[in-house]
A and B are shown apart, each in its own frame.
Chain A
């Protein structure tokens, strides 16, 4: 690529491709702040924060002080409440999936045992089969189990509740956590634990001081993926939440039918902000290792 013209052509091509790839994000940025954007103007003549005000994310002009923001957010507009709920479910699911998946990942990463291939097959299947295939049956199962729980005098609702939605998110999340972490354990040397044990360390201390530090980077990536997969769930939340668990994707989906582009774009930007943050943090781990990248395949 020594020749200046060839170099210019190369950068021009890369530039055009980059622009096309980021076009959806650019469209959101223009739409979210556009005001009276008449056809065929490419760039709006007027800009405004109206959509953000209507969503209750930014106070009206004149009230945009720190206390104005606090007052507005404390009054918990729909979007803010959906934001907190999405975050709470995401964090819960991430924590649960790591706690549940860690021992399984260790077993798969460190040991050979009979039936290992069947176990691996069963864990991979939910990542291949479309969610629609199991979520319809699950929807009915939850309603049945609720009735059974009621008969036993346990007043817990799974269908239509945040608990139920969090449990269901485990299905798409667990495989990625287990597969990513089993990859980590495949390169892990358990001899250090034996040494710590021979020096008299107790199991919990061994986990905390020996195991955890060496798996921490992988654990971190797995947790971020788990969060992202939960964060972007629409169908499962819709079916199991029965419209009563209103996360951000629920709001975005119902907004998509309104045709109010400014509001849809503003919601989209709020929705993708953590996703892009996670990409920035994890991009150096994205060496194409299939299990980690696979998480993105399901977002």
Chain B
């Protein structure tokens, strides 16, 4: 036997086995079940009934559509705002100064802290008797917890977005800071000597340079904030529910018919994320070709 020929497949086999069986196998079986294939309750006929129900039925559609809009709103707002904040802070921290190491450590601190913990932290900071409410109380701006607006477990997902901001600012920040430091300030100095003001330098020099890294990080963050379960479960409300929470609720429903709808919801989440990644790859491929 020719060992050289099968050496690489052999090296890849264990990893690919895990990923194919556990990940793609499960994704595929979830897809089958979303089409109504469920031998456990004796249905093996495939249909689009679960999708029809999720998208149009009088029972499920009224929770699906608000959930979809909420998910899109939370994911877009979290991604955009945290990227903007991270750029600002990274621009501030890129120069050399005494105490920079400590500042960068604080900048990174939330990076390894699990999302679940940050979500719990938001309850302690922004609930009506939380730390922020107490600070305003000390300043005499609010006098009782009821004066403080409900920022956690609110219908607009503000608490959820806040949790993602704390996490993703650190994530974007480390990426942007690394790009800025590897580039140095030479390009901007040239622009300055040519008479560009601060905003022009940022808009025409700095931003285009950090854009590729920023875009791929944005895709990761958007996919994550769109599809994570823990944060909206802890910081969300009964209605509207973000799609991952909705999917799991349907899946865990004792009524086995609801399971197909839960599966359909999880497939819709997957399709939206996939579509986004493809659009992103298409755009980058096009800009690369242009350049």
Contact = CB atoms under 8 A, between A and B. Distances in A.
19 contacts: A14-B99, A21-B170, A25-B109, A27-B131, A122-B24, A123-B19, A125-B24, A128-B219, A129-B273, A137-B33, A140-B30, A253-B230, A261-B123, A278-B112, A279-B105, A286-B178, A293-B175, A296-B170, A296-B174
A24 B103 contact: no
Interface stretch (B54-62, B264-272, B283-291): B264-272
Interface stretch (A51-59, A167-175, A204-212): A167-175
B23 interface: yes
A58 to B, nearest CB: 20
B8 to A, nearest CB: 5
Interface string A268-299: 10011001101100010011111001101111
Given A129-B273, A252-B117, A39 B18 contact: no
B145 interface: yes
Given A10-B97, A28-B124, 13 more contacts: A18-B102, A27-B125, A100-B15, A128-B223, A131-B227, A133-B273, A136-B251, A167-B22, A276-B109, A279-B109, A290-B213, A297-B224, A299-B113
Interface of B: 8, 10-12, 14-16, 18-20, 22-31, 33, 89, 92-93, 95, 97, 99, 102-125, 129-131, 133-135, 137-138, 142-145, 166, 169-171, 174-175, 177-179, 182, 213, 216, 219-221, 223-224, 226-230, 234, 244, 247-248, 251, 262-263, 266-267, 269-270, 273-274, 277
Interface in A159-187: 167-168, 170-171, 174-175, 178
A138 B27 CA distance: 8
Nearest to A231: B114
A132 B227 contact: yes
Given A119-B12, A171-B22, A130 B120 contact: no
A28 B270 contact: no
Contacts, number: 276
Interface centre among A10, A123, A137 (most CB of B within 10 A): A137
A135 interface: yes
Nearest to A21: B106
Contacts of B111: 279, 296, 299
A136 B262 contact: yes
Q: Is chain B's interface secondary structure helix, strand, loop, or mixed overall?
A: helix
Contacts of A278: 112
B118 A141 contact: no
A178 B13 CA distance: 13
Given A141-B26, A288-B177, A298-B224, A39 B129 contact: yes
A37 to B, nearest CB: 9
Interface centre among B31, B118, B143, B230 (most CB of A within 10 A): B230
B116 A249 contact: yes
A106 B12 CA distance: 9
A1 B114 contact: no
Q: Is chain A's interface secondary structure helix, strand, loop, or mixed overall?
A: helix
A127 B23 CA distance: 11
A275 to B, nearest CB: 4
A291 B68 CA distance: 30
Contacts of A113: 8
Contact of A1 (B20, B95, B213, B228): B95
A101 B274 CA distance: 25
Contacts of B123: 256, 261, 264
A249 B114 contact: yes
A39 B95 CA distance: 41
A263 to B, nearest CB: 11
A17 B165 CA distance: 13
A275 B243 CA distance: 29
Given A104-B14, A122-B20, A134-B23, A271 B117 contact: yes
Contacts of A167: 22
A135 B130 CA distance: 34
B125 to A, nearest CB: 5
Interface in A94-147: 100-101, 103-104, 106-108, 111, 113, 119, 122-123, 125-141
A283 to B, nearest CB: 6
A42 B135 contact: yes
B27 A137 contact: yes
Given A140-B29, A232-B114, A275-B112, A129 B224 contact: no
B113 A272 contact: yes
A137 B262 CA distance: 10
